[in-house]
Amino acid sequence: MTTPTNPAVEAILSGKAPQQAMLAAASGLLPLPQADLLEVLVALRASENQEIANAAAATLNEQESRDLLDAAKATDTSPAVLAYLGESDATREIREAVILNASTPDDAIVQMAACVSDGSLLELITLNQQRLVRSPTIIDAILKNSARTADAERRAREIQTEFFEKERGARQIAGELRARGNTAAAEFFETADLTTAEGELSLEDAWLIAKHIEVADADLDDSWLPSERYDEAIIEDTVSHAVAVQKIIEHETLETGGQLDAERISLIRQLMLMNVRDRMKLARKGDREARSILIRDPNKMVAAAVINNPRITDQEAENIATMRTVADEVLRLMATNRNWARSYTIIHNLARNPRTPIPTVINILPRIRTKDLQHLGQNRNISEAIRRQAIRLSQARSGE
């Protein structure tokens, strides 16, 4: 709502002006600029004094269409005037200007969307996606208006699906999970995107994923990942999702030495359907089964999130340190983890893993026992630089 700068206008709008002055204003007899006159007339037509209200309504009806059009286009026009122009029997050109004016109140657009009989005006309203997202009651009004065109209905429904039905689905899942006492999973879905490269994540898949969430927000430590990195999550397409699924299946098959059962393959596909942001969240909140899949995620940010899951165990860390199918960044981060660096089994596994970056292995070699250094010096699966350094350290300790 604008604040009038003209003292006379302010006095009239506040009801402090004498009755005779308000009647004169309602009759258009006061020397006011056009914008101020319209604001005063729109306000006075709702006066409790019937004489003033009737005079204001009559004066409004006498206004030139050109002046009304100028007011409809001006961004500094009073919202009350814009609302009036939208509700009145103004020309199509004036109504178009009101719809396109960013200063027009959303409530006024709701009224127009509910009442106009010109379907093309409804189409014009749907073009302002930002306004419809901000005020979804406009969408409801359009869809209830029998004058809506096929294009107006299509656009309104597309915006409704894109911005509200997805959100409603996530809220529905979260509410049900909270009712069942699964707070951790509810927190996940309250902020989940629920989108995939192919469109929406089905509610059936979402429920299955919810079973694998066990870490509450209060247990998370986000200090390892600056917020600006979180926004680096790349957009993936259907092909990259399919490739990721196949790689994970191949890697698990290779490491387990047997074929995966149908249930495991299905879970892999369901988890990898999610976008990068949701997979990162799940990596930090998921259970052991989810972690065992996402640690192999081709996206390094997702895999790194797994090792920052507060429920990950030392045994899991020991197994990850031996994997040759995880990102080298994951192994590097493991070597710098204070808790895991105290575990000899973990650092020994990292030293023997050909995937561990050479600088990382060189840094942890001094903590490797002499006997194990000797074995590393003979290990042909690791780089020659690491073998030579292991031999040097071993010989130095033996005084050779």
Tokens of 17: 């002006």
pLDDT of residue 187 exceeding 60: yes
pLDDT at 214: 92
Least confident of 1-5, 103-107, 381-385: 1-5
* CA pair distance 257, 194, nearest whole angstrom: 34
pLDDT at 221: 76
* CA pair distance 113, 128, nearest whole angstrom: 13
32 and 6 in contact (C-beta within 8 Å)? yes
Longest dimension (CA), the chain: 113
* CA pair distance 186, 192, nearest whole angstrom: 10
* Tens of pLDDT, residues 373-397: 999 999 999 999 999 999 999 999 8
Least confident of 20-29, 58-67, 157-166: 157-166
Higher pLDDT, 38 or 256: 38
186 and 175 in contact (C-beta within 8 Å)? yes
Q: Which pLDDT band holds residue 168 (cuts at 50, 70, 90)?
A: low
The b/e string for 115-153 (b: 16+ C-beta within 10 A; e otherwise) is ebeebebbbbbbebeebbeebbebbebbeebeebbeebb
pLDDT of residue 227 exceeding 60: no
* CA pair distance 142, 153, nearest whole angstrom: 7
* CA pair distance 282, 269, nearest whole angstrom: 14
307 and 232 in contact (C-beta within 8 Å)? no
Mean pLDDT, residues 35-56 taken together: 90
- From residue 329, give the alpha-carbon distance in Å to each of 39, 64, 279, 388: 65, 71, 17, 23
**Among the ranges 31-35, 164-168, 376-380, which has the highest mean pLDDT value?**
376-380
Domain residue limits, the chain = 7-149, 195-312, 328-400
Backbone phi, psi, residue 195, to 5°: -120, 155
188 and 285 in contact (C-beta within 8 Å)? yes
Calculate the dihedral angle through the C-alpha atoms of 34, 12, 90, 126, rounding to the nearest 10 degrees.
100
